[in-house]
């Protein structure tokens, strides 16, 4: 279990990520519009814990993940890694941080260079961050890590196209962990895999987390997957935080209407309970992040919305000891 009273490895406050957008057919002198991909998100990740981030496609999860590592520019807010403020930090400062934080990407094959074999892919972080290592030392480290993720030494000289999706993701995990980082950002690492392979990869990540004392940020659109691996869960909608809660509290008593709707869509293994449950279908489509609704961004699809929801943005407040929600119901 995470030591939540320790100093956070990662602390984010009021993070905003925006992109200028020109619509199709707009004249060159037309004013640019702004897409608010991440809009005021705050979070903490403590040593050894897993923070799950969940939401529908297009809610800003992957953009948030990339902004944490400075892979996309941050418009406003603060990012602090291990007590060091990183907003506006130099490339050299980020290079030092990246030794301790790595990323696993959504598309296993696309995240691997097709011109490099497995040995070259997995050893690349060592060549960047530990250039003093001899070739023999690098080879030994790569062999040990490949064995740990379920790949053999004989596969070191093969190329990504020769592997299945699950095997490619194992290669990506080996590359991310070869430096023994403190935190790994997992950007939907199982969404492109078959269900049976998803379970294998999640179990592998949990085993490696215990063995290497890792903290994880685990991003997914499936509440069932997030429940299996996370200690706490952050629910996003249209770039904003809707709810943050301990996983047991979230699944026992979700506070935000959006979380309630997401949970009602999760299949239940018991056929009788599955037939008896009431699914809360959300009406309408997700609004455009270029022109989000006033007040609460979820109000246009919320069955419990009232006048104040359109007038004011609800702050994220403490509902009880284990849950926070951004909802005027509380």
b/e map 215-253, b = 16+ CB within 10 Å: bbbbbbbbbebbbbbbbbbbbbbbbbbbbbbbbebbbee
* Cα dihedral 267, 61, 303, 285 in deg (nearest 10): -90
Domain ranges of the chain: 111-180
pLDDT tens per residue, the chain (330 residues)?
444 556 899 999 999 999 988 766 566 666 778 899 999 999 999 999 999 999 988 899 999 999 999 999 999 999 999 888 998 888 889 988 988 999 999 898 999 999 999 999 999 999 999 999 999 999 999 999 999 999 999 999 999 999 999 999 999 999 999 999 999 999 999 988 888 899 999 999 999 999 999 999 999 988 888 888 999 999 999 999 999 999 999 988 999 999 999 888 776 666 776 666 666 777 878 888 888 999 999 999 999 999 999 999 999 999 999 999 999 998
User: How do residues 25-41 score in pLDDT, each as one tens digit?
Assistant: 566 666 778 899 999 99
Facing residues of 104 across strands? 186
Task: Check: CB of residue 218 under 8 Å from CB of residue 50.
Answer: yes
> What's the distance, CA 289 to chain centroid?
19
Do residues 186 and 217 touch, judged by C-beta distance below 8 A?
yes
Residue 304, SS3? coil
């Amino acid at each position: 279990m995470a030591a939540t009273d320790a100093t956070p490895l990662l602390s984010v406050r009021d993070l905003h990520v925006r992109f200028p957008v020109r619509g199709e057919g707009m004249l060159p002198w037309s004013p640019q519009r702004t897409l608010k991909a991440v809009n005021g998100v705050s979070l903490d990740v403590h040593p050894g814990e897993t923070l799950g981030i969940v939401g529908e496609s297009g809610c800003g999860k992957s953009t948030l993940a990339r902004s944490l590592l400075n892979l996309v520019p941050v418009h406003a807010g603060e990012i602090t890694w291990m007590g060091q403020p990183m907003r506006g930090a130099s490339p050299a400062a980020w290079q030092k941080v990246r030794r301790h934080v790595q990323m696993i990407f959504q598309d296993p094959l696309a995240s691997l260079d097709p011109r490099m074999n497995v040995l070259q892919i997995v050893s690349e972080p060592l060549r960047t961050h530990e250039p003093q290592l001899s070739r023999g030392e690098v080879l030994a480290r790569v062999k040990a890590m490949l064995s740990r993720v379920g790949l053999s030494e004989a596969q070191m000289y093969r190329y990504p196209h020769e592997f299945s999706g699950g095997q490619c993701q194992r290669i990506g995990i080996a590359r991310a962990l070869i430096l023994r980082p403190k935190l790994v950002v997992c950007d939907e690492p199982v969404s492109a895999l078959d269900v049976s392979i998803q379970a294998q990869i999640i179990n592998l990540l949990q085993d490696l987390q215990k063995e290497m004392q890792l903290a994880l940020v685990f991003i997914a659109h499936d509440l069932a997957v997030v429940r299996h691996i996370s200690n706490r869960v952050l629910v996003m909608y249209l770039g904003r935080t809707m709810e943050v809660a301990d996983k047991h509290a979230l699944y026992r008593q979700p506070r935000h209407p959006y979380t309630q709707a997401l949970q009602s869509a999760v299949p239940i293994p018991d056929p009788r309970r599955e037939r008896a449950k009431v699914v809360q279908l959300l009406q309408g489509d997700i609004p455009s992040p270029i022109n989000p609704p006033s007040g609460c961004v979820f109000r246009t699809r919320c069955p419990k919305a009232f006048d104040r929801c359109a007038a004011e943005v609800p702050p994220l407040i403490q509902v009880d000891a284990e849950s926070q929600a951004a909802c005027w119901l509380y």
